[in-house]
Structure 1
Amino acid sequence: MDERVFESLPLSQDSFQVLWESVLPSMATQPILDQDNWLPELNTTLSGFDLFPYVPPVLENLLTPPASTVPTTSDYPGEHAFQLRFQKSGTAKSVTSTYSATLNKLYCQLDKTCPLEVLVDKEPPHGAILRATAVYKKTEHVAEVVRRCPHHQQEDAFEHRSHLIRVEGSQRAQYMEDLNTKRQSVTLPYESPQLGSSHTTLLLNFMCNSSCMGGMNRRPILAILTLETPEGQVLGRRCFEVRVCACPGRDRKIEEENASKTPSGSKPTKKRKATPAPAPSTAPPKKIKSASSTEEDDKEVFVLRVRGRERYENLKKINEGLELLEKNKCKEEVVGGASRGKRRVDEGTD
């Protein structure tokens, strides 16, 4: 601003209108700003001077609370009575997914649809979401992030191919990774049950086997499903164990049988049976075998089961040697008997 303009104006003698017209003659035609609404009009009038740059408001939906390092795995129905229900299926070999209520465990095949029914007694607030997260069950592994194995990741062309849990049948699913914990989750907007239904169906896929090297590597996992507000506040939580295998029905049947044998869930331990002391023998003393019985035993054939090819070959050679020795002995007896008979004949002739 030109300092000469201020020097020509006596202090506290002219109004703001005179100052405004002398400083900005081109804007003299603009009306004096209203005292109540001066900020929006001044921002519009002086937009070329960039005196009041526009600052976008902060969206409250983006201010989600930080995720916990160790997620909670306890069930929490909340005020909405959040529940999960699995479709009933047996233990046949043909089933692709089956749920054990006694073990609270889902058995499913790789990349096969697992339908889950979501139930609430009270309608959640508008914009509520469902979140699915996988964590390791054991304490020594719970701090690690559950990811797919490198082999299945390379074979998949999906954008978020490192995620173990995938939602099927919805284009509104969002795959997220926490910046602090690096844990991966998938979210889906909550939909109210359709007319005549009491539940909402959620379709989940598990994209890696429990036995995959470089992935879960036979470590048991838990799936955590939470009902949350748009701001990330948890309204309800349900957890269940998951085993991704080739034959869900067979594995469920075996593990349920083992659990019924051991109520505490620990592995059964084999107890050694105490060997009783030998009772005094009341049988009569064995009789000494006669020469005739010994000859009969020599003619009897026995079968011996031998473990290992090398041991079998050695015993076979020993047996062949004994057979050869027995034949030679018989020949010597025959030859000796013939020679003695010939000698007797010669003696008689003399």
Structure 2
Amino acid sequence: MSFHDSELSDILENDAREALYHNVHDIVEYVQGNFCEPGLSEIGNTFSPLGNEETLNLKQEIFNDLSLPSNVSYQQELPPVYTVPLKVCNEEYAGPYNFDVSIIPNGSKNPWVYSASLNKVFIDMGAHFPVDFRLNSRDLEGLYVRVTPSFSSLQHSQELVFRCVQHEQPQFNKDVPPHVRQHIIRCPSNDKAFYLGDRDNNQRLSVLFPLSYPQAGTDAVREMFVFVCKSSCPTGMNRKPIEIIFTLEKYDGEILGRRILNVRICSCPKRDKEKEEKDSVSKSTAPTGKKRKLEPKDKKIPSGDESKDKNMHSVTIEVPGKANILQILKFSQDLMAGEVMRNPQKNEQYVEAYKKLQAQVNQLQQ
């Protein structure tokens, strides 16, 4: 007989728990033979050989006493506050427990690399990578960690992050529940993880799991994560940069800490890391205050919009799924916003088109 993980803590390893369980009867006999003084009949009766039913009851009591630290009761039910607003905060916040998230250093042959200068993980799709969670103290029970992917650019920060159409197909999701398929990140190391939110209902997706206690000899709790979609997938993240927001939360949803990690899911993590680090250095060392050669005043600078077609056009398309049509409308909004920025003087048509697209988005999101 073995106990399920949901009934045990991290205090004892699996092998130690099983060994303790199967040797409870021998332990009882040893205590009876070595610690019970002769003539004490009451104690002798207390440690007399047990029947099968009594032994099982004693085993259960021992495991109940050793499963969790004192004054800790594990919360089995789903926390009452489980939704994440579309406007998520991405400011670092250590909180009262000095919440810390650490990336484990890896070798050169691993399918993921971490850039300390960019605070960014470059990882191949389907690769597992470990993350350590630390608290400087813990006087509360029922603490959770929420993992929320979000677009890092301010322009797209309120958009939902979800898997592309191709990777969400059933052939890529064997034995995966339908509500989990839309998530880009999984936590396979924790079978108590909840996959929350729904793209079709315009709810931000997140993964929530109870924060266990560190095992003996360590001050961190390690969890494994895996990404199941690429940053370049056109019907998913579509090359927009993303960040993972780790939040430490109480049972009632109060946030006690927040850490941010930038992520790029790609086929060549090492190459992309070196390229982005090089680009970052180039931008930081760009010369400033250097005189530029001015163009002659009589030289006509083309406005860029003289030959553009500014006539209003309309088209009707049929697309399955509300989420897909929302993505098309938001992409069109981005195009119009770009035209407004490039044509600050004559942009009435683009502003009008942007407002109409926004009205359609609002109508679909109701």
Same fold by TM-score, threshold 0.5 exceeded?
A: yes
Residues 15-54 of structure 1 mapped to structure 2, 5 A cutoff: none
Cα distance in 2 for partners of 1:65, 1:242 equals 24
Aligned to 2:137: 122
Matched letter for residue 255 of structure 1: E
User: Structure 1 66/115 Cα, relative in aligned 2: closer, same or farther at 3 Å?
Assistant: closer
User: Structure 1 63/97 Cα, relative in aligned 2: closer, same or farther at 3 Å?
Assistant: same
Cα distance in 2 for partners of 1:168, 1:219 equals 25
Cα distance in 2 for partners of 1:65, 1:168 equals 20
User: Structure 1 102/167 Cα, relative in aligned 2: closer, same or farther at 3 Å?
Assistant: same
Aligned to 1:70: 87
Provide the secondary structure at the position in 1 that maps to 2:190: coil
Aligned to 1:227: 248
Matched letter for residue 181 of structure 2: R
Say whether the 8 Å CA contact 1:67–1:178 is kept in structure 2. Answer: no
Q: How far 1:67 sits from its partner (Å)?
A: 3.5
Aligned to 1:85: 102
User: Structure 1 62/101 Cα, relative in aligned 2: closer, same or farther at 3 Å?
Assistant: closer
Give unpaired runs (5+ residues) of structure 1. 1-59, 275-350
User: Structure 1 151/61 Cα, relative in aligned 2: closer, same or farther at 3 Å?
Assistant: closer
Say whether the 8 Å CA contact 1:146–1:215 is kept in structure 2. Answer: yes
Give the one of 133, 136, 159 matched to 1:144. Answer: 159
Matched letter for residue 162 of structure 1: Q
Instruction: Report Cα offsets for 1:211-237 as digits up to 9, x if no partner.
Output: 011000100001001111111111110
Matched letter for residue 238 of structure 1: R
Say whether the 8 Å CA contact 1:210–1:243 is kept in structure 2. Answer: yes
Matched letter for residue 256 of structure 2: L
Q: How far 1:272 sits from its partner (Å)?
A: 10
Say whether the 8 Å CA contact 1:128–1:190 is kept in structure 2. Answer: yes
Number of positions where the alignment pairs a residue of Structure 1 with one of Structure 2 = 211
Give the one of 282, 294, 299 matched to 1:261. Answer: 282
Give the one of 127, 135, 142 matched to 1:112. Answer: 127
User: Structure 1 167/102 Cα, relative in aligned 2: closer, same or farther at 3 Å?
Assistant: same
Cα distance in 1 for partners of 2:173, 2:293 equals 54
Q: How far 1:142 sits from its partner (Å)?
A: 1.3
Cα distance in 1 for partners of 2:133, 2:139 equals 12
User: Structure 1 244/211 Cα, relative in aligned 2: closer, same or farther at 3 Å?
Assistant: same
Aligned to 1:342: none
Provide the secondary structure at the position in 1 that maps to 2:182: coil
Aligned to 2:188: 168
Cα distance in 1 for partners of 2:239, 2:222 equals 29
Cα distance in 1 for partners of 2:97, 2:173 equals 38
With normalisation by structure 1, the TM-score equals: 0.56
Aligned to 2:225: 204
Provide the secondary structure at the position in 1 that maps to 2:243: strand
With normalisation by structure 2, the TM-score equals: 0.53
Provide the secondary structure at the position in 2 that maps to 1:262: helix
Aligned to 2:262: 241
Instruction: Report Cα offsets for 1:180-208 as digits up to 9, x if no partner.
Output: 75111111110111110011111111110
Residues 8-19 of structure 1 mapped to structure 2, 5 A cutoff: none
Cα distance in 2 for partners of 1:65, 1:191 equals 19
Q: How far 1:125 sits from its partner (Å)?
A: 1.4
Instruction: Report Cα offsets for 1:298-348 as digits up to 9, x if no partner.
Output: xxxxxxxxxxxxxxxxxxxxxxxxxxxxxxxxxxxxxxxxxxxxxxxxxxx
Give unpaired runs (5+ residues) of structure 2. 1-76, 295-366
User: Structure 1 185/248 Cα, relative in aligned 2: closer, same or farther at 3 Å?
Assistant: same
Instruction: Report Cα offsets for 1:136-174 as digits up to 9, x if no partner.
Output: 111221121100001001022311111111001221111
Give the one of 213, 223, 233 matched to 1:192. Answer: 213
Cα distance in 2 for partners of 1:61, 1:74 equals 26
Provide the secondary structure at the position in 2 that maps to 1:249: helix
Cα distance in 2 for partners of 1:97, 1:168 equals 17
Say whether the 8 Å CA contact 2:84–2:203 is kept in structure 1. Answer: no
Provide the secondary structure at the position in 1 that maps to 2:167: helix
Structure 1 ranges of 4+ moved more than 6 A: 271-274
Q: How far 1:64 sits from its partner (Å)?
A: 2.0
**For the pair shown, which has the larger CA radius of gyration, 1 or 2?**
1
Cα distance in 2 for partners of 1:62, 1:260 equals 44
User: Structure 1 257/176 Cα, relative in aligned 2: closer, same or farther at 3 Å?
Assistant: same
User: Structure 1 229/79 Cα, relative in aligned 2: closer, same or farther at 3 Å?
Assistant: same
